[in-house]
Amino acid sequence: MRNDQPEANFLLERRLGRRALFRGVGLTGLGLGGAVLLGCNGDDDNGDGGTASGNTLQQARDRGYITIGFANEAPYGFADESGNVTGEAPEVARAVLAELGIPEIQGVVVPFGSLIPGLQAGRFDIIAAGMFINPDRCAEILFSDPDYCIPQAFGVRAGNPTGVSNYEDVANSDARLGVLSGGVEEGYAQAAGIPDDRITRFAEAPELAEGLQAGRVDVIAATSLSIRAQLDRLNDSSLEMTAGFTPEVDGVPQRGCGGYGFRRDDQELRDEFNDALVSMKQNNEIVPITEEFGFGETEIGAATDVTADDLCEA
Amino acid sequence: MFDIGLWGRFMDGVWITLQVTAYAALLGTALSIVSGLAGLSPYRAVRWPNRVYVDFFRGTSAIVQLFWIFYALPLIGPTLSPMVAGAVTLGLNMGSYGSEVVRGAVVAVPRGQTEAGIALNLAPLDRMRYVIFPQAAVAMLPPYGNLLIELLKGSALVSLITLADITFMVSLLRVNGAASTVTLFTIALILYFAIAQAITLGVRLLEGRLTRGLEIGRAAGRRAA
């Protein structure tokens, strides 16, 4: 029956329907593709808030908010269940920025190793992730003074079967170590002589802890509070943490003190932020903000007399 | 274990995943057609730049492209928002694969169709529009469906450039202990699977529509499916 249909019928009727469909798809594709490309002007609410022009402070005051980058690492900077940014560093930053006349912060989550590249690319204006201040990082970005100092700790299986209590012990055993990619622990581990094939780098803190839980590594290294937060979350009796310790590189103890990071051309923002932070430190206003995240006088007090310059020149 | 708040977060993630996938698919489809036809151009000045585009985007890692556009491009050029950066990168990628799908399908249309078009005195452009392309399109659809599903799954890469898609929500929710790792990743698997099934269904329907009344197309459609 169909074969009897004259060819003309196909050309006049069917073709129109199909043609319209093709044209519709093609035009919609081109139109929306174009709209996406142009959309970069209108889509300014998140992640695009950073600017790399050096007058970030003034712009943030005019807009009423500033964007901070954090790494989703409890208790330093993380998103709560409704997606709002919180944690030690964002909450202290919130208080400091309110002093500077910037009432609001917007958070951008990136993997820890992307914090410095993201800041430099203008994806956000301040790193508020409790990032340790060290000479390598000072070569890349500006830091405020630290607002806390903290020892390292290991997460291990219950009973610490590999018997490790510092990086040298790990080097002398055959234990596999997990660290956060781009974190200071990587450098400590290498300095202690742990071979690279026994170091596994994880992108985020939760993966680090789950790597231990799943048996992918035998030991995980991070700050004592970070290890505690992860183990509390997993609530697994087959895991435990070791006592805190201060790692050494070439016999020199490495103080682990965290502060806030800024782009190199944002000296003004960094200086005003730092002045407000220092006066909050002197007035003992940091502990009340951070104690809900497990920070006490021990961690906050240890940073009282430490400046960014001390740590950058170490 | 699984409350309304968690569900809401996942739905926010689904919405972002759908947006990125849809924008990238539209850009990728348009590029596939333009680039696929450009690959058949008799002019070397058209074919060669097209070759460079296809080989570059097929031949380099999508995640490196994404990081380059997101973290490196702002240092030397414009700053694209996360959504634009994600959709453009994934769309350019899909277009480079789709280009070959389009080119292959057009080449596969029997030579007699072109000759018939010439006999009917159709201009080269009309021949392509009315005779060759509608038949080729039917053969393009099954691999096109593959590309769309690849795109959907590849869209998880945007979780690394701050876009709060399904994958991003999993890593966010893992931190505050809202649900177990097993629960969160299982939900994510189910969500991706459901969206992929919807895409498969959509491509099937489109295939039925384009094949209707097209004898050669029906055969080609049956073979490919």
Cβ <8 Å between A40 and B84: yes
pLDDT confidence of residue B85? 95
A217 or A79: which carries more pLDDT confidence? A217
Provide mean pLDDT across the span B67-95.
94
Q: Say if residue A301's pLDDT is above 50.
A: yes
pLDDT confidence of residue B212? 78
Angle at alpha carbon of residue A179, lines to A178 and A185, rounded to 5°: 130
Q: What is the pLDDT of residues A4-51, one digit of tens each?
A: 443 433 333 444 455 555 555 555 555 554 554 444 433 333 444 445
Residue B162: band (very low, low, confident or very high) from pLDDT cuts 50, 70, 90: confident
pLDDT confidence of residue A4? 42
Chain A to chain B Cβ contacts (< 8 Å): 139
Q: Say if residue A54's pLDDT is above 80.
A: no
Q: What is the pLDDT of residues A136-163, one digit of tens each?
A: 999 999 999 999 999 999 999 999 999 9
CB-CB neighbors (< 8 A) of A233 in chain B: 175-177
Question: Which residues between 53 and 92 in chain A have a beta carbon less than 8 angstroms from any beta carbon of chain B?
Answer: 72-74, 78-83
Question: Which residues between 35 and 54 in chain A have a beta carbon less than 8 angstroms from any beta carbon of chain B?
Answer: 36-37, 39-40, 43-44, 46-48, 50, 52
pLDDT confidence of residue B4? 63
Q: Does B120 touch chain A (CB under 8 A)?
A: no
Cβ <8 Å between A29 and B210: no
pLDDT confidence of residue B191? 97
Q: Does B83 touch chain A (CB under 8 A)?
A: yes
B14 or B216: which carries more pLDDT confidence? B14
**What value does the mean pLDDT of chain A take?**
85
The pLDDT > 70 percentage for chain A reads 82
- The pairing of beta strand A239-241 with beta strand A252-253: unpaired
Give the lowest-confidence range in A27-41, A187-201, B92-106. A27-41
Q: Does B134 touch chain A (CB under 8 A)?
A: yes
Q: Does B18 touch chain A (CB under 8 A)?
A: no
Of B188, B178, B171, nearest to A71 by C-alpha is B171
Provide mean pLDDT across the span B90-117.
95
Instruction: State the nearest Cα–Cα gap between B81 and chain A, in angstroms.
Output: 5
Provide mean pLDDT across the span B143-159.
95
Q: What is the pLDDT of residues B169-199, one digit of tens each?
A: 888 887 766 778 889 999 999 999 999 999 9
Q: Does B27 touch chain A (CB under 8 A)?
A: yes
Give the lowest-confidence range in B46-55, B92-101, B209-218. B209-218
CB B17 within 8 A of CB B165: yes
Provide mean pLDDT across the span B24-43.
96
Who contacts B184 (Cβ-Cβ below 8 Å, separation ≥6)? Answer: B170, B173, B174, B178
Q: Using the 8-state DSSP alphabet, how is residue A108 labeled?
A: E
CA distances from A266 to A138, A263, B56, B109 (A): 14, 5, 37, 61
CB A144 within 8 A of CB A260: yes
DSSP β-bridge partners for residue A221: A154
Residue B117: band (very low, low, confident or very high) from pLDDT cuts 50, 70, 90: very high
CB A147 within 8 A of CB A91: no
CB-CB neighbors (< 8 A) of B172 in chain A: 72, 79, 83, 109
Q: What is the pTM of this model?
A: 0.77
CB B103 within 8 A of CB B39: yes
Who contacts A249 (Cβ-Cβ below 8 Å, separation ≥6)? Answer: A187, A188, A191
Number of helices and strands in chain A (H, E): 14, 15
Residue A155 host element (H or E): strand A152-157
